[in-house]
């Protein structure tokens, strides 16, 4: 382990009395967790009933009134069994989460590595609801209890940040990766409405554009998965009403390709043409390849046959 220098120790002593806090560890920026203390009163809790949380590192100088919020990713749970298991992990409870998070990439405070946002207020929203911050229901059979309160968690965190300066934001970017990227599609316009009318607001999804397309067995595997998720967690009521009123199957508005048509806030989409998750779970899920014909291709693209490459390229062209 890296030796702790005297100045790092002093930094730790100074900031342990504050929340949120930061620790300067070599080139890494570790930011302390902030629990939303009044969230329980609003029913805004994680799967297991624990308090929701975020990490905030303050901006400075020219960026002191600018904000970037990043949704944490981490998949979903679409049935009681998987959600009960998830509730026992950091994906369903803040009790199991690391209390310090490394702020890197778009959240870094290093001007050379992150020249556009290094001095902005940077926030990481912790993910503990299993539905991209969008559900609002509860499961209670007398033995097991699960809270599906992602929508309330989103609102509770925003209302906790508004008096901390978010209400005075001049520029703001709502971002997220994977399941967090999908959350940006669901909350982009709502985020804009919560900020000053003269604020410049944009949204960014990184690897969150999940497709509603047939898999290699011609079934809609992801559609089936998301339908169960939307039904279980009471998500449909929180989907964009302009979208749900416009298509025959309102649950499809959970998919970015449908939701995007009804988002008015400027939007940036970053997605790999050969996204591994979509390859393994949307295009070739295990249920569509029972005999494992795609196993070698999944492990090593160089081992894909000419036919398999053509299928992948067709999917990539759709994403593009």
The DSSP code sequence of 75-124 is ----SHHHHHHHTTSTTT-GGGS-SEEE--GGG---TTT-TTTTTSEEEE
d(CA 246, CA 262): 10
**b/e 85-107 (16+ beta carbons within 10 angstroms → b):** ebbeebbbbbeebeebbebeebb
d(CA 157, CA 39): 8
d(CA 204, CA 263): 12
Q: 144: which 2 tokens?
A: 């097991």
Per-residue confidence of the chain (320 residues) as pLDDT tens digits?
Answer: 433 333 333 333 333 333 344 454 457 899 999 999 999 999 999 999 999 999 999 999 999 999 999 999 999 999 999 999 999 999 999 999 999 999 999 999 999 999 999 999 999 999 999 999 999 999 999 999 999 999 999 999 999 999 999 999 999 999 999 999 999 999 999 999 999 999 999 999 999 999 999 999 999 999 999 999 999 999 999 999 999 999 999 999 999 999 999 999 999 999 987 788 888 888 898 998 999 999 999 999 899 999 999 998 887 766 55
Q: 146: which 2 tokens?
A: 């699960």
| Strand-strand pairing, 53-57 and 28-35 | antiparallel
Kindly state the DSSP code that residue 19 receives in the 8-state scheme.
S
Q: 3: which 2 tokens?
A: 């030796």
Residue that the structure tokens 């981490």 belong to: 74
For the domain made up of 26-273, the CATH class stated in words is alpha beta
CB atoms within 10 A of CB 146: 25
pLDDT on residue 320: 55
pLDDT on residue 25: 46
The residues, any chain, with a CB within 8 Å of residue 157's CB and separated by 6 or more, are 36, 52, 54, 125
Domain locations along the chain: 26-273
Nearest alpha-carbon partner for 125 in 164, 77, 181: 181
């Amino acid at each position: 382990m890296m030796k702790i220098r005297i100045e790092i120790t002093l930094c730790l002593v100074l900031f342990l009395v504050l929340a949120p806090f930061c620790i300067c560890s070599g080139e890494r920026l570790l930011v302390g967790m902030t629990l939303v203390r009044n969230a329980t009163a609003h029913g805004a809790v994680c799967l297991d009933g624990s308090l929701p949380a975020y990490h905030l590192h303050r901006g400075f100088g020219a960026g002191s009134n600018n904000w970037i919020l990043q949704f944490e990713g981490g998949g979903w749970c679409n049935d009681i069994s998987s959600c009960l298991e998830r509730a026992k992990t950091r994906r369903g409870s803040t009790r199991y989460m690391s209390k310090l998070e490394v702020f890197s990439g778009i959240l870094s405070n290093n001007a050379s590595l992150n020249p556009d946002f290094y001095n902005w207020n940077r926030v990481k929203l912790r993910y503990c609801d299993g539905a991209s911050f969008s559900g609002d229901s509860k499961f209670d059979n007398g033995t097991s209890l699960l809270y599906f309160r992602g929508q309330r968690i989103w609102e509770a965190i925003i209302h906790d940040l508004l008096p901390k300066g978010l209400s005075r934001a001049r520029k703001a970017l709502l971002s997220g990766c994977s399941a967090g990227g999908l959350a940006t599609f669901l909350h982009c316009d709502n985020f804009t409405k919560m900020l000053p009318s003269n604020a410049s607001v944009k949204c960014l999804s990184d690897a969150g554009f999940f497709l509603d397309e047939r898999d290699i067995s011609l079934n809609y595997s992801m559609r089936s998965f998301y339908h169960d998720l939307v039904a279980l967690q009471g998500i449909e009521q929180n989907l964009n009403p302009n979208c749900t009123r416009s298509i025959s199957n309102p649950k499809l508005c959970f998919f970015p390709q449908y939701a995007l048509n009804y988002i008015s806030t400027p939007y940036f989409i970053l997605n790999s043409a050969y996204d591994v998750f979509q390859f393994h779970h949307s295009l070739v899920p295990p249920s569509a390849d029972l005999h494992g014909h795609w196993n070698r291709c999944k492990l090593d693209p160089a081992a894909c046959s000419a036919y398999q490459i053509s299928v992948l390229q067709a999917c990539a062209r759709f994403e593009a």
